Chain A
């Protein structure tokens, strides 16, 4: 395969899915209680994007992966200790606020500016990767906005597969309604790919990869530029947990036949 890609993966950090979340409104707008001490992970769909980027990089000689992540330096450092052991990449940290309540437009502006100024990045070889939605804001717009700011008009969302052909064109499978995939062929980079689950398992930890990544990661974290995100007129009227709690009926004594009859009646009821 002849094409060498410059793959930039945008990935945020989010609270571990098993954590209990409690929203509150502070002086700077909404946030989560104890947000800075909640265990955090790399955003799951963005993590899929990172693993797919690394796999593509391994297939295409001369390719390189950057991981651009916006969050508080201390949290980034904590999460990257784990992520660094998975695949090779160059971390580009951006020191900024944590959480899903920040405005996506401001986030996209900060990310686009960072990517545009990456030393050695060839924009004609650029594949901009990320998750199609985050597990925090979940809006699915940041990557598109970054792409627009970088002038990229070939964009794909809900991607599960990329297949690069010998001529440099690539085929993309995007999720669409009804459990189907839309198949498109793009005439090479630059392009934006917002990944869904992809098709790769999470790589096993590799101490060697971790050591190599960490050598460049710590200085990068120390030098991370700080950004302040503008609210762009976004105001939160209310932020709350859903109150619905069901009065669960736990049936321990019913026989199989009784359960089956009850279920059939329930399924058939309008």
Chain B
């Protein structure tokens, strides 16, 4: 008989909108479903400096609640987080451990699996339990999809965000069991977060829309000149009025290193595709981008896709987008910005 443990961590102090992240609440939903399908027991473990508020949000699920709490777990750090997760897993005697694929848990969970003699699969997008547990995940950067199962236990599964609905229940005072954690000597100190200035904060994971800027924005335009400053203004204006998240092709973010004109607010963090991110948004608009396969694999989890390109034979036209406008993105985005501003005013 399997026993399910869902590991969660409290939200960072910078994110004061909730005591627990949305991704963690998605993992809770997945854990509850799996426990119901298998007829297994469900335990939820919480890591953080103060876990009471997070626990109160989860109490209505009716699961056993465990907590590894204290100042040592205020910041994400391998040594302390691995020790906390290991202690929670041992306390729960779990055979299947679910957690969100957050940066904090992605850093430590393979190490925890190894310490417990278990195995791990990450970037899981679906879990099915009919007789045995089968999980879906992608290989070769979202180009090949596979369904796998394993006999080995404990089996750790890190779930990609956006794959399950977030758990929502009534908050009330929780009865939480505190788990003692034996901490090793700490050699690493987390000193904080480095964030881009507000006007350059262009990566918005919760946005409904992804706007991708391709290298064409900084190429010579019909007048024979490069208009990268104007391009930057158009793009930032669009992001400001729509609240979209900004992505980019590799060729555009690489241009800085090659001494070519750049958009100063773009970094490798914005890169989408084979060597970049694979974000999840309901809609995506590509501009001045050829839609080559290494970039488009990063669009695997974008719902509706549209593209603006001067090339009627670009990659987007070959079944990768729903609509391709063969047009000059400078003119179109300028007009779109004007219409959006008019609409908002």
Expressed in whole angstroms, the Cα–Cα distance for A235 and B119 within the complex equals 13
Is the beta-carbon distance between A235 and B275 smaller than 8 angstroms?
A: no
CB neighbours (8 Å) of A266 from chain B are: 283, 304, 306
Q: With CB as the reference atom, state the residue of chain A lying closest to B274.
A: A17
Q: Which residue of A155, A173, A236 contacts B148 across the interface (Cβ within 8 Å)?
A: A236
CB neighbours (8 Å) of B113 from chain A are: 141
Given contacts A148-B115, A197-B268, A267-B209, A18 and B293 within 8 Å (CB-CB): yes
Instruction: Tell me if B2 counts as interface (CB < 8 A to partner A).
Output: no
Given contacts A145-B110, A251-B323, A259-B332, A183 and B148 within 8 Å (CB-CB): no
Report A44 CB to chain B, min CB distance, Å.
Answer: 4
Is the beta-carbon distance between B146 and A239 smaller than 8 angstroms?
A: yes
Given contacts A154-B79, A236-B146, A264 and B339 within 8 Å (CB-CB): yes
Q: Which of B176-212 contact A (CB under 8 A)?
A: 184, 187-196, 201-205, 209
Q: What is the interface residue range for chain B against chain A?
A: 35 or more
Q: Which residue of A104, A174, A178, A196 contacts B203 across the interface (Cβ within 8 Å)?
A: A178
Is the beta-carbon distance between A197 and B195 smaller than 8 angstroms?
A: no
Q: Which residue of A153, A183, A197, A233 contacts B119 across the interface (Cβ within 8 Å)?
A: A233
Is the beta-carbon distance between A250 and B107 smaller than 8 angstroms?
A: no
Is the beta-carbon distance between B143 and A21 smaller than 8 angstroms?
A: yes
Is the beta-carbon distance between A140 and B146 smaller than 8 angstroms?
A: no
Is the beta-carbon distance between A30 and B193 smaller than 8 angstroms?
A: no
Q: Which of B281-333 contact A (CB under 8 A)?
A: 283, 285, 292-294, 300, 304-306, 308, 312, 316-328, 331-332
Report B324 CB to chain A, min CB distance, Å.
Answer: 5
CB neighbours (8 Å) of B338 from chain A are: 260
Interface string of A122-141 (1 = CB under 8 A from B): 00000000000001111111
Expressed in whole angstroms, the Cα–Cα distance for A138 and B338 within the complex equals 42
Report A36 CB to chain B, min CB distance, Å.
Answer: 16
CB neighbours (8 Å) of A241 from chain B are: 143-145
Instruction: Tell me if A118 counts as interface (CB < 8 A to partner B).
Output: no
